[in-house]
Amino acid sequence: MIMQSSYKGRHPHYIEEIQRDLKVCLENTKHIILMGYSLPQDDVTWRSILAARKNREPSNSVKCTVIVGHGGPDKWLYKEELDKYLDKVGNSGFATIQSAKEIFELDNIRAYTHGIPQVWQRGGDIAKNVRQILNWSTDDF
């Protein structure tokens, strides 16, 4: 996904076209990946769109993957392990994960906090890592 905050002023026409296409794509998606977008509190438009998408489905059917670069552990963090890690390091710098928790709930998110390009390069198998990002799984491949 490519998103730009709704509060950055007038967008070029191609950004508006991308945003319209994204809204259509979100209609039936079961897995949302946030990478390079912080989902800030003041971006009410996208937070509302994502929350509405999640709320149209039975609980636990829309998943969210968050990839941020804060030098965290070189593995995927899920549920309680993710919550414990956030408690340990504090919430500063993890706005995306906190926003994802608010919208999708802890059981429906996973996070990789070691950064980009590390998420692609883990173990030297880029194809496997891309599959892991795109396909929701609690298995760490």
Rounded Cα distance between 123 and 40, Å, is 32
CA-based radius of gyration for the chain? 15
Rounded Cα distance between 127 and 131, Å, is 6
| pLDDT tens-place string over residues 111-122 | 999 988 889 888
Residues 124-133 have a mean pLDDT of: 91
pTM of the model: 0.83
Domain ranges of the chain: 31-134
Residue-averaged pLDDT of the chain: 82
Name which residue leads in pLDDT, 137 or 105. 105
Type and span of the H or E element at 21: helix 13-26
Name which residue leads in pLDDT, 59 or 139. 59
